[in-house]
Amino acid sequence: MEIGIDKIGFYAPHLFLDMNKLAVERNVEPAKFTIGIGQEKMAVPPITQDSVTLAANAALNILDEEDQEKIDVVLFGTETGIDHSKSGAVYVHRLLGINPNARAVEVKQACYGATAAIQMAKGHIALNPESRVLVLGSDIARYGLNTGGEATQGAGAVAMIISAEPRVMAFEGPSAYLTDDIMDFWRPVYSDKAMVDGKFSNEQYISFFSKVWEQYKKKTDLTLADFEAICFHLPYTKMGKKALRAVIDETSEAVQERLMENYQVSTQYNRNVGNIYTGSLYLSLLSLLEEKAELAEGSLVGLFSYGSGAVGEFFAGRLQPNYRKHLFTEQHQELFVSRKEISVEEYEEIFEETLPSDGRSIELDIHEDPAAICLSGIKEHSRQYINKQ
């Protein structure tokens, strides 16, 4: 039985900041952000969006009535959850009207959470071939104004339906994975901003990729030449390129050219959104599938997931016959063109506007936010969500 991605959707907030303008304001050469880091635009979440609403908005437009009925597990990968106890999955389950006889759980290991969720979904479907699992990767990446990580912030979510006989991509062969207890990036429970050892995190990302790739080759006898493309977790779009460069010499020039060209395509969406942590690898996959019209059915695509702290995994999937028909390309392109640019000043104001940390109730103005699902306030310590549709 084949198991894989049957549908894949994406959502980013409607506001963005131009990285050239941020560079000028921070006294940095714009080329450092757009070429050195590889980011053009950064998605900026208004206060009416959190990891729950981003995830629910990503899933909203890809689900039909049959999915609502057949989904019996909701797995919510996030590292910017809204509650220490209750999972974001339970809110999304209600907001999307999913079958009550479902499990709903949050999965955490930095940016690796959605990959862990996919692997769990595979196990569930192997035992229950009729079921469908909704996997979400949703986050808001915050490092702080004027910090080294600022240019690598972002916000957004990817939603995937994992099922048997998938129409987009079937996972194929084993995974190679690795865990090591390191402090490259983390966020203590008292902080709403990430802590990071930037240079060390880059080194560890490359080292994890090299190690899992070596392990994968031994397990499968595959080489770089077997892959049409490799998609990466993209904290910023230069990062995956650095990792790919670390191993690319082991293949022919023609394959190198193909992998590098497809790598560029796979970074297109991420370049315009920023880091979305758990969803980032899958946003890169989406970019490859939706932006490369001539990507052949039957192609093998490699996937490298990395979550600081750290866990890395390499696995692969094969594109299914007619996969393009089952993408939501137009909807995603519409999302990009309808976004609104904000100034650096507006971005800073939005960044500083946080929810009360003392438990006070608050009502938020949701009229400025065009998203279907919004956070409308906090009442008696509980977040109030509404679906305008």
Rule CB under 6 A: which residues touch ligand HMG? 29, 31-32, 35-37, 79, 110-111, 148-149, 151-152, 184-185, 196, 198-199, 201-202, 205, 233, 235-236, 238-239, 275, 277, 306-308
Our answer to whether residue 84 is catalytic in this structure is: no
Q: For residues 31 and 246, which CB has a smaller minimum distance to ligand HMG in the complex?
A: 31
Our answer to whether residue 374 is catalytic in this structure is: no
Q: Which of 115, 107, 58, 59 is nearest to 317 (CA)?
A: 115
The label of the residue with tokens 């941020």 reads 22
Q: For residues 224 and 311, which CB has a smaller minimum distance to ligand HMG in the complex?
A: 311
Smallest distance, ligand HMG to C-beta of residue 286, A: 17
Cα separation, 270 vs 12, whole angstroms = 11
Catalytic hit among 111, 231, 313, 374: 111
Q: How many CA atoms lie within 13 A of 339 on its CB side?
A: 25
Smallest distance, ligand HMG to C-beta of residue 277, A: 5
Smallest distance, ligand HMG to C-beta of residue 66, A: 34
> Judging by DSSP bridges, how do beta strands 41-44 and 103-107 pair with one another?
unpaired
Measured from each CB, the residue nearest to ligand HMG is 36
What are the angstrom distances between the C-alpha of 98 and each of 101, 102, 104, 106, 133?
9, 8, 10, 16, 11
Q: For residues 93 and 233, which CB has a smaller minimum distance to ligand HMG in the complex?
A: 233
Tokens of 225: 């030449």
Q: For residues 118 and 151, which CB has a smaller minimum distance to ligand HMG in the complex?
A: 151
DSSP states along 287-344: HHHHH-TTPPTT-EEEEEEEETTTEEEEEEEEEPTTGGGG--HHHHHHHHHT-EEE-H
Smallest distance, ligand HMG to C-beta of residue 388, A: 31
CA dihedral in degrees (17, 354, 61, 385; nearest 10)?
A: -160
Smallest distance, ligand HMG to C-beta of residue 56, A: 21
Cα separation, 62 vs 286, whole angstroms = 14
Smallest distance, ligand HMG to C-beta of residue 247, A: 16
Q: For residues 185 and 227, which CB has a smaller minimum distance to ligand HMG in the complex?
A: 185
What are the angstrom distances between the C-alpha of 374 and each of 78, 245, 359, 377, 388?
18, 41, 19, 9, 8
Our answer to whether residue 111 is catalytic in this structure is: yes
Catalytic hit among 14, 93, 233, 332: 233
Q: Strand, helix or coil at 142? A: coil
Q: Strand, helix or coil at 4? A: strand
CA dihedral in degrees (9, 11, 17, 23; nearest 10)?
A: -50
Q: For residues 266 and 299, which CB has a smaller minimum distance to ligand HMG in the complex?
A: 266
Cα separation, 17 vs 41, whole angstroms = 6
Spatial contact of 143 and 191, defined as CB atoms under 8 Å apart = no
Cα separation, 284 vs 174, whole angstroms = 21
Q: For residues 202 and 384, which CB has a smaller minimum distance to ligand HMG in the complex?
A: 202
The set of catalytic residues is 79, 111, 233
